[in-house]
Chains A and B, each alone.
Chain A
């Protein structure tokens, strides 16, 4: 049902109204309202029957266990990002009432992305997320970087959604409908027109590739991630990316596959359409380029931006294998990625607040100045690298196993060697924090709120590396798609 979405909209309206009564200094309280709304939405989501699998609004969106799981992920991400935003110094100088409203609007957009089954609805939901992201990336109006980030984001965004829309229109021209399930039937019966279909597929891939920042649609990522307020960077690198993957899984497996897709354990791609190979190659290139470019970065946010490109590449490995275990691995990785990526960014925020720097070179000795921050950051970085016993390793383990099960050994080896490159640049941060500097007598401990939030992100990063059966079961139960 649509109740969680309605609650989100309601809390936004309430937030707008409440914002009228706050002055600039207290406008952050809107964030509290929105968190309240998110919690209620989560409760509403919890109260809907877990196995619900229906279509809504004339078959344009679905509510199924797959979408439901992603909705939980979005709610959790948004809540954490709002909590982070409440504690960053970057936003102290601006009025933040609208900021929180816009974040809630993105959450609504992501909800729709995870559940759209109609081309128009897909386009609209992507645009809701994108346009609001443009505004948030440029939220620090007075800073040149932030404004630049926003402008770049707009240009790339407009360009790639234009391409995607063109692909949609070709698809519509071939089949005469915008509904995914109907398109699927027409495509199966399609006689000729493979070239048009191939072009349409690649164009659609471009649009989605932009959303998940896959190479070669990644150019906006580093500048936007560097210029945007850090909580927004964290948000963009997790939330919309996860939504992009949800959409990618649903659309490609519905449209361009054989008849037993998403129900059998392994399936085939549509005959004569080589998107499987293209996407595998895209995954390999994305992770390699992201990792190689990350090596040279001197700014932590840029480094994490490039590394997030690499992570998109890892996750992308799970899609062209066309199997339940592939999708399973993608979902698993998204869950663990949420914790480690948001955690790493929150450490960056805390360090920026206290030590006033985002340059890796200036991270020297932070492990001694603040043992708590140092250890927590190290945990996140090891997890991002994919070293046991952290959740990041298990995520990669599932991805590799899906790829190897599909006998795409070359892709597994590329992915595995990429972990080694990743180690090099992640360890650069660890090196600065620990291998330089000496014992300090004055230790810095983040505020209680920050420490708890960091622990909330770090503890699962370790626990799920040792015992992950709960998530594994949760995902297994969520691997149910609405199919007519």
Chain B
């Protein structure tokens, strides 16, 4: 590849943001079209990348490497593999759709779309960087636009939600910074992730800090940083607030992409760099996954606000990802090297990241649609909408069924893979966490019943049906949800080799593990 496609993916939105800033502030529509064009090109490039990606290749492709700050050995280093490609596709797709979701933003559109594109660039950068310093910069750069997007265009409690989100994430990030520097100084003075993957485990494993193995300390610091993003219980309290207060498009990005960064970080950084830590922590991870699944579902069940319910369902669904990731120990020496289970779990986790991205995006867009019309989100405040808005009801039904994991829709496959992977090692945990499926079904169906079935609420006899722009944002997602529910191979094929390699790393390390 000669034309630096990865750099284009990252910097296209920045160019778009720069153009938007130059547009006079009364020309809101021009700004929207610039944003649409920038994200459309990004999506085209992402698909191009996918088409040219060699999924049988172990390691990173389309690499771009440049020295940035020579004195500190910092590089501008981008690359893509089977783990990051699905995330890149997801980010590009959701960013593009979200421009249209935001079409009705009238308050300060220049600021909104410029910040939105910067956020897009930050997300792309996180998924593509292979230099730890660069990764950190992108990771942090995302926070600023997010703060303003929630804080300026959000709901009534937006100020509190925005700062809470910012404080939580920054608290995690600074721990990550300390961990990054610790890795730098103990493992050969480099930020190059590919080098760190080879050296970090042995470099840290032999050191002791405050009486603890240094590897465990660094693992925990990284885990907290990523867990806050996921969010893993008990770091999840920022999430419902931020999701509820954020404008629809930002909720979509938050749930669809930002949460995935937590699990992506673990799979990209913690797992391959510190495989000993991954094995050591797997049990705890499975337990946290269980808490996430059950706790998130129970909270969702208790909500009367539709958006909050969807937000908590994300906590629950991200639990499946964690469970799938914990399954990697199945390949370990202690568990008899059950590589098949590990593969099911790990591939399931990444597939679930992708599927949850599409499903939750649909759910949030749908919440936004009804909120724009009724100006509230109280589940009990509707009733019988099914008769009034048949198309809307149909799409909601699809999204809800996908969310509760109905066979034939995409969520089912990835959730099942996570369970299958984790079962051989964590039997009790898996058995208990299947309760989560039941609870998921309960709150989705109950909400559906209260909103769409029964007698039509008199207040809403004139509620207009979902319009074409809204349908345009939902249809691609719905198609993906159905398609991947029947035939998940296109996404699975991309990641298979990469995940297989990651499992191998962990398996090898389990043979030599120090603890």
Do A and B interact? yes
**Is B71 within 8 A of A424, CB to CB?**
no
B182 lies within 8 A of A431 (CB): no
In Å, the complex CA distance between A409 and B175 comes to: 11
Contacts of A409 in B (CB 8 A): 178, 182, 209-210
How many contacts A-B (CB < 8 Å)?
81
Residues of B within 8 A of A439 (CB): 107-108
CA distance A473 to B162 in the complex (A): 39
Closest 6 CB pairs of A and B: A416-B174, A388-B137, A404-B181, A435-B151, A388-B140, A420-B171
Say yes or no for B391: interface residue by CB 8 A criterion. no
Q: Does B148 lie at the interface of the complex (its beta carbon under 8 Å from any beta carbon of A)?
A: yes
A417: chain B residues at CB < 8 Å are 171, 174
Instruction: Give the interface size class of chain B.
Output: 35 or more
Q: Would A400 and B167 count as touching, CB distance under 8 A?
A: no
- CB pair A472 B144 closer than 8 Å: no
Q: Can you pick out 26 interface pairs between chain A and chain B where the beta carbons lie within 8 Å of each other? A: A387-B144, A388-B137, A389-B137, A389-B141, A393-B140, A397-B181, A400-B178, A400-B181, A401-B72, A404-B185, A412-B181, A413-B175, A416-B174, A416-B177, A419-B174, A420-B170, A420-B171, A423-B166, A423-B167, A424-B163, A424-B167, A427-B163, A427-B166, A431-B162, A469-B71, A472-B72
* B159 engages A412 (CB within 8 Å): no
Give the distance in Å from the alpha carbon of A271 to the alpha carbon of B19 in the complex. 61
B354 at the interface (CB under 8 A from A): no
How many angstroms between the C-alpha atoms of A473 and B71 in the bound complex? 9
Q: Give the residue of B69, B158, B210 whose beta carbon is less than 8 angstroms from that of A468.
A: B69
Interface residue? B143 (CB, 8 A): yes
Q: Which of chain B's residues 160-219 have a Cβ closer than 8 Å to chain A?
A: 162-163, 166-167, 170-171, 174-175, 177-178, 181-182, 184-185, 209-210
Contact A431 B151 (CB under 8 A): yes
Taking the complex as formed, is A185 at the interface, i.e. its CB lies under 8 A from any CB of chain B? no
With beta carbons under 8 angstroms apart, the residue of B143, B166, B178, B184 that contacts A412 is: B178
Asked whether any CB of chain B lies closer than 8 Å to the CB of A95, the reply is no
Our pick among A397, A420, A431, A472 for the contact of B71 (Cβ within 8 Å) is A472
Q: A401-B181, A416-B177, A439-B107 are in contact. Are A431 and B167 (CB under 8 A)?
A: no
Q: Is A361 an interface residue (CB 8 A)?
A: no
Q: How far is the CA of A404 from the CA of B180 in the complex (A)?
A: 10
B175 near A416 (CB under 8 angstroms)?
A: yes
A contacts with B: majority SS: helix
For residue A393, which residues in chain B have a CB less than 8 angstroms away from its CB?
140
Establish whether residues A435 and B178, one from each chain, have CB atoms under 8 Å apart when the complex forms: no
**Smallest Cβ distance from A382 to chain B, in angstroms?**
7
List residues of chain B with CB within 8 A of the CB of A467.
Answer: 68-69
**Which residue of B144, B162, B181 has the most chain A CB atoms within 10 A of its CB atom?**
B181
Can you list, as one digit per residue, whether each of B301-333 has a CB less than 8 Å from chain A (1) or not (0)? 000000000000000000000000000000000
What residues on A are CB-neighbors of B175 within 8 Å? Answer: 413, 416
Question: Knowing that A388-B137, A404-B178, A420-B170 are A-B contacts, what are 16 other residue pairs whose CB atoms are under 8 Å apart, sorted by A's residue number?
Answer: A389-B137, A401-B184, A401-B185, A405-B185, A409-B178, A413-B175, A419-B170, A419-B174, A423-B167, A427-B147, A427-B163, A434-B151, A435-B159, A472-B69, A472-B71, A473-B71
Q: Do A420 and B167 have beta carbons less than 8 Å apart?
A: yes
Report yes or no: B151 in contact with A382, Cβ–Cβ below 8 A: no
B136 at interface by CB-CB < 8 Å: yes
A389 to B69 CA separation, bound complex (whole angstroms): 14
CA distance A417 to B167 in the complex (A): 10
Are A469 and B184 in contact (CB-based, < 8 A)?
no
Q: What CA separation (Å) do A438 and B111 show in the bound complex?
A: 13
Decide: A435 and B158 in contact? CB cutoff 8 A: yes
In the complex, the chain B residue whose C-beta lies closest to that of A421 is: B167
In angstroms, Cα B179 to Cα A416, docked, is: 11
Chain A residue contacts of B159, Cβ below 8 A: 431, 435
Q: Is the CB of B69 within 8 A of A469?
A: yes
Q: How far does the alpha carbon of A222 sit from the alpha carbon of B360 in the complex, in Å?
A: 49
Report the separation of the CA atoms of residues A469 and B170 in the bound assembly, to the nearest whole angstrom.
26
Does residue B70 face the partner (Cβ distance < 8 Å to A)? yes
A residues 388-436 in Cβ contact with B at 8 Å:
388-389, 393, 397, 400-401, 404-405, 409, 412-413, 416-417, 419-420, 423-424, 427, 431, 434-435
Return the chain B residue nearest A443 by Cβ: B25
A472 partner residues in chain B, CB cutoff 8 A: 69, 71-72
Q: Does A29 contact B (CB under 8 A)?
A: no
Bound Cα distance from A400 to B174, whole angstroms: 10
Looking at the assembled complex, report how far the CB atom of B366 sits from the nearest CB atom of chain A, in whole angstroms. 28
Complex Cα spacing A387 to B184, Å: 20
Q: Digit string of B57-87 for contact with A (CB within 8 Å is 1, else 0)?
A: 0000000000011111000000000000000
By a CB distance below 8 angstroms, the chain A residues around B171 are: 417, 420
What is the bound-complex CA distance between A397 and B175, given in angstroms? 13
State whether A435 touches B162 (Cβ < 8 A).
yes
Question: Is A476 close to B, CB under 8 A?
Answer: yes
The smallest C-beta distance from A65 to any residue of chain B, in angstroms, reads: 17
Q: Does chain A have a CB within 8 A of B299?
A: no
Name the residue on A nearest B168 (C-beta).
Answer: A420
Cα of A435 to Cα of B148 in the assembled complex, Å: 8
Cα distance, A469 to B67, chains bound together (Å): 11
Write the chain A residue with the least CB distance to B207. A407
CA distance A439 to B106 in the complex (A): 11
- For B236-251 the 0/1 string (1 means CB < 8 A from A) is 0000000000000000
Tell me, in angstroms, the Cα distance from A417 to B163 when the chains sit together: 16
Complex contacts, B395 vs chain A, CB 8 Å: none
Which among B70, B151, B178 is the interface contact of A469 at CB below 8 angstroms?
Answer: B70
Interface set, chain A 58-73, CB cutoff 8 A to B: none
What chain A residues lie within 8 Å of B167 (beta carbons)? Answer: 420, 423-424
Please tell me if B397 contacts chain A, counting CB pairs below 8 Å: no
In the assembled complex, which residues on chain B have CB atoms less than 8 Å from the CB atom of A397?
177, 181
Q: Is B152 an interface residue (CB 8 A)?
A: yes
